Amino acid sequence: MSKIRVLSVDDSALMRQIMTEIINSHSDMEMVATAPDPLVARDLIKKFNPDVLTLDVEMPRMDGLDFLEKLMRLRPMPVVMVSSLTGKGSEVTLARAGAGGNRFCHQTATGYSRRNAGV
């Protein structure tokens, strides 16, 4: 069986590195590319055709929610939102859920918590 191909979009180089290490630590997944913002990600999606996208919410040039809405119209795919802004009950989380994201990871100072989109 082929590996799940992941592309990570985050303006933080550290977060891109951490996501790469997490994804590549699983034998059934591989990080095919990382991007510092959605505009770079757009070209990498065309080039690498990932199965799943991890996406930060706040980024320069275009925020993750705007990119998610455009992506779901043009090339629907599973997306995991990763951000410190996605805590339970936040307006950003609700907007993200309406935009079509499947899952989100709440980034905290001590790690991550995972939640289904239907919170």
CATH number of the domain bearing residue 37? 3.40.50.2300
Q: Would you say residue 114 has pLDDT above 80?
A: no
What's the mean pLDDT in 96-118? Answer: 49
Residues comprising the chain, all counted? 119
Give the residue-averaged pLDDT of 41-70: 92
CA 97 – CA 49 distance, rounded (Å): 23
38: three-class secondary structure by DSSP: helix
* Direct distance between the N- and C-terminal alpha carbons of the chain, in angstroms, rounded to an integer: 32
Query: How far is 23 from 28, CA to CA, in rounded Å?
Result: 9
**Tally of domains within the chain:** 1
User: Does the predicted TM-score (pTM) go above 0.85?
Assistant: no
Local confidence band at 59 (pLDDT 50, 70, 90 cut-offs) = confident
Region 7-34 average pLDDT: 96
Domain assignment of residue 63, given as a range: 4-116
pLDDT at 109: 46
Q: What is the mean pLDDT of residues 13-29?
A: 95
SS3 63: coil
